[in-house]
Structure 1
Amino acid sequence: MSSLVVVFPKPEDAKRIRDVCVRHGFDVDAVCTTAAGALSEMNNLDGGIVICGYRLSDMFFTELRECMPAGFEMLLIASNRVLSSVEGSGIMAVSMPLSAFELVNTLSMMQRKAVRRRRRENPRPKARSREEQEIIDNAKALLMERNHMTESEAHRYIQKCSMDNGTNLVETAQMVLTLMSC
């Protein structure tokens, strides 16, 4: 789940937004009253969503957006008059008066979009080390020798056991080696 940072000039407004988010299952990482404070918090996080108002005590939302680190999106909460000037800029927005239902649905949509984007950007699993690959190969060789399997059958067997047990392939191969070498 992506990080949430709430930024409003009035602390009570920020706390109300945080409370709505928490009540609906979102984890809020920071509540700030200034854009500088929000930027400081964002630099400690990997990415997420910034929920903010139109005007903060030290800058407007447009300036905050320009300074945000990569991986963050903005959800603007403002009046319809302000939102009409923002259309087409790529900023997600919720109009005032604020509906908790609309806020929660918009946040959910933004988080699903961020998850899809992360998956698209990082489609390849990390490469196995030589030692890990040797463990898998030894487990396959043991299965092939003792159970008269082909290499692909042994590999599929380890994969299936891995999925059934909820462990990764290397751990499962180690279990096969441990159990079959007794």
Structure 2
Amino acid sequence: MSAGGILIVCSRPEVIKDLRTLMLQQGYSAAEYSLSANEARRKLDIFEPELILINSPLQDELGIDLVLDIADKTDAGIIVLSKHEHLEEMQFKLERVGALILPKPINKTILLQTSRFAVNSRKSLKGLKHQNDDLEKRINDRKIIEKAKWLLVEKMNMTEPQAHRYIQKRAMDTRVSQIKVAEEILSSY
């Protein structure tokens, strides 16, 4: 498995060492770590991991606020290792942002499987978001072109096919996109 980097957020250096060794053996190219949530936030400004592993509780917080702060800002998979007494609260507050919660003590096999699942899930979501953004842009472009076309029908007494062809031809002749032509038409009226 060729993997990107991982950020381990944990207040216990001996646990960081074990997790870092385990994840590097699994093919992660870099294993950065932070001892606190605030340090993790700063590190995420300069490091873009593929996976974020949070061993809760942290020095400065439980870890819930950290996940809520970073979930929308990263494409990384997020796994929180939680004590049993915090498990239900973690699940309730973090399931909506897609963080995966594992109870402690951790089984290495389950951690590794969950890591792969978290990374692959976030990649899939990122791909779907990209497709959605692309479709949204195409729909918005189409709306602008349609507005321009109907403006030509109204103001220039063209038929709909004539207006459509006019926009296409002008785009080809001027070597710009139809959306640019449509925007020019809308701004000129």
TM-score, L = length of structure 1: 0.60
1:32-73 per-position Cα deviation (integer Å, ceiling 9, x unaligned): 112122111111134643211222112220121233261244
1:95-132 per-position Cα deviation (integer Å, ceiling 9, x unaligned): 111111011000100111111122222346xxxxxxxx
Aligned length: 124
- Contact 2:56/2:63 (8 A) holds in 1: yes
- Evaluate the alpha carbon distance shift between residue 103 and residue 28 of structure 1 in structure 2; reply closer, same or farther with a 3 A threshold: farther
Instruction: Give, in whole Å, the separation in 2 of the partners of 1:59 and 1:5.
Output: 17
Secondary structure of 1:45 counterpart: coil
- Contact 2:82/2:101 (8 A) holds in 1: yes
- Contact 1:2/1:111 (8 A) holds in 2: no
Of 79, 82, 86, which residue of structure 2 is paired with 1:78? 82
- Evaluate the alpha carbon distance shift between residue 37 and residue 17 of structure 1 in structure 2; reply closer, same or farther with a 3 A threshold: same
Instruction: Give, in whole Å, the separation in 2 of the partners of 1:106 and 1:86.
Output: 17
Aligned to 1:40: 42
Residue identity opposite 1:70 in structure 2? K
1:118-161 per-position Cα deviation (integer Å, ceiling 9, x unaligned): 2222346xxxxxxxxxxxxxxxxxxxxxxxxxxxxxxxxxxxxx
Runs of 5+ unmatched residues, structure 2: 135-189
TM-score, L = length of structure 2: 0.58
Q: Say whether residues 1:53 and 2:61 are aligned partners.
A: no
Q: Say whether residues 1:116 and 2:100 are aligned partners.
A: no
Aligned to 1:63: 65
Residue identity opposite 2:73 in structure 1? A
Runs of 5+ unmatched residues, structure 1: 125-182
1:68-91 per-position Cα deviation (integer Å, ceiling 9, x unaligned): 261244311122222122224313
Aligned to 2:26: 24
Aligned-residue Cα RMSD (Å) equals 2.1
- Considering fraction of residues, name the structure with more helix: 2
The percentage of counterpart residues that share the same residue type is 12
Residue identity opposite 2:42 in structure 1? S
How far apart are 1:20 and its partner, in Å? 1.2
Q: Say whether residues 1:95 and 2:103 are aligned partners.
A: yes
- Contact 1:2/1:48 (8 A) holds in 2: yes
